[in-house]
Chain A
Amino acid sequence: MSGSRYTELQVTTHFSFLRGASSCEELFATAAVMGVEALAVVDRNSLAGVVRAHEAAKTTGVRLVVGCRLDLTEGYSVLVYPTDRPAYSRLCRLLSLGKKRAGKARCELGWPDLVAYREGLIAVLVPDEADEDCAMRLRRLRDAFGDRAYMALTLRRRPNDQLRLFELANLATRMRVAPVVTNDVLFHEPGHRILQDVVTCIRHNVTIDELGARRERHAMSLASPRSTRRVMTFCSSASSRRSGASRPTSTSISSTSGAKSSCNGSSTPTAAIAPRCAQQ
């Protein structure tokens, strides 16, 4: 299994203010050591990290996938990845629109905005529980993005995790949306948890003792492809044991690479586009 390939599709850098705790350089260097093929940098409502990430990708040889996490006003998040340069421009325009609407340091975008700018974007829904809302969102995602719609499966290491992932995967199959595995990476190595907790405190404007449940409980550091595959395979086997059905999560992992390879416009064209968008 040492040859397993994995692309981390959900990496948050410290360009997501008070959310991420590691710089692009740290993340890419760690990814290179661990043998992660590519990192998708998805900062919250921002492409600000793309320039640094591009530089880091060039020095480390780990491929960069450009992306963005859009926190929609409807109360859920969608990860979007432009597949070519025009799509990247459209994403920039979408973000400008949201930022103009909401004022300084904020962004206000709704689902209709995303649909209007959807051309050339790959969309990954970040689900919570496999409930009615999630089904409705998946249906809308499927209608808007067609075969470019995906759903993120993230192991949270919480009670009932396996059942949750199992239900989500089933729901995705029913809605004909391909599931992909992400790790929701917020920092590059476990020791950075301190910084992570501190920035979370600052974000909530409380001391560490009062933070309590608002601590980023499932915050993950970068994981090696091997451990990701191991954990997800274990999970899928456990959930299928429970319900007597089989759900090969390995397909979800391989489709991670599939989603990545369709993000063609990631590495090279970004250099040309990035400086312009950095001014926004």
Chain B
Amino acid sequence: MFSSEFLLSMIVFLPALWAIPLIWFDGQNKESMRYWTVLGTALTFVLSLQLWYSFDPSQAEMQHLFRYEWIPAWNVNFALGVDGISLPLVVLTGLVSLLAALASWSIDKHVKGYMMLFLLLETGMMGVFLSVDFFLFYVFWEVMLLPMYFLIGVWGGPRREYAAIKFFLYTLAGGVLMLIAMLMFYFNSFGPNGEGTFDLIELARIAAGKGTAVRFSESLQLAAFIMLFIGFAIKLPSFPFHTWLPDAHVEAPTPISMILAGVLLKMGGYGIIRIAMPLCPYGAQYAAYFLVALGVFSIIYGAFAAMAQTDFKRLVAYSSVSHMGYVLLGLAVWKISEGKTAGADYWAMGINAAMFQMIAHGISSTGMFFMVGVLYDRVHHRDLNKFGGIAQLMPEYAGLAAVIFFAGLGLPGLCGFVGEIFSVLSCWNFDPTLAIIAASGVILTAGYILWTMQRVYLGPEYKGPHPEGITPFTAREKTVAYTLVVLAVLLGVFPNYLFSRMDKSISGMVQSMSHTYDTHHGAGANMETTQVR
């Protein structure tokens, strides 16, 4: 229907363009600005759906790929493209943004500024997922950071400045590490007669040593991987870089929490898959055990920490830490035995599961934050010990919330199950001990989620303040809730719909990386005569 250039560029820039007319809106007419924003995000979502349907799942390569010169002096291109790894995340971003826009009715302060920042944020997120150029990726990464800072810092809760600065500094620190790694790659990609490049595909080719004059040395890969990993692990977030998350979530307004949990955390996982691993296969393999162990530890640690919380939002935030641990676990189950990749199918399964878990978490966690927000809008507190009996007062809400929470718990038939179980299943091939520890997460997860549901929804009566504020579900809230619930069920029942889109790209990546490792760094490396720079 559209040309690739137009489609991808519009997905990225439509929200930002959409924000411009908001300048001339009447500041008092809040309704119209809200509807305008919803319309913009809806259009973006429709475009992302168009992308989904025009995507050919039988190809492993980047599709709709195009490049325009941007800064020729440094060989920086404006390059966008989509493959099976970024596609689901683009659609997820479109969806979560739309739902978050629908959930933004509770924002009453400086609506114009909020909406503009919100749309700008969406542009940043889309850009991150669609960039094929490292420099561009970095730019969008930082573009997304600033609106988020203001959205938390201006429209947040009582400790918003603290939370916003914490978020900003953490992410910025990660960004700086990423910048260093980026420059390392750039200056090491100078061929004998060529020039350096920021192009991710080209860099991955160099890393894989496929017909290129230069190769990244092992020490370079290792150093770069560590820096990139820390940068992305902050975003993921993984223990011990996670403490910004609870604060940011607790202070952020509901729609921003939804975006934060639904999309922003995925950037960490996406960065690892898209950049850290293909660009430093050796580093990724070298650190694999550590990564898996960290993932497993995050799962358990997040679950334990969640159990001790009394703030509803904090609990959900820690559950995110736990759930994103599965992502890290799944990504890194790259087993080497006797210098060769062993059980590549299990690794591909792990990455698939990690990707699925990201999408599933995007739905379940967004839903959980939304459900918490619905309650918060009514009673203006989040103390778990001062709830109870909500199911009596708002039965439909409680039912939908239960589905979403069960999705988070990993109940089969709902989306959370598939990602969790497949990543855990893929882990035994890598290391049985870690697999067993990871599997024990199912008990803890059940524990804290059920206990929470008991304290909030069950029981005879509501015990907290503002009981008069509890009003039935509105139509707008229902729309958001049902969308999420239906998606959770569909993905849980037909996971192959998603897997089939991702599998080609992922298995292509797995093959290329394991081939690289086996020939250049593993047992086959001795026969390799290529000069390593």
Q: Say if A and B assemble together.
A: no
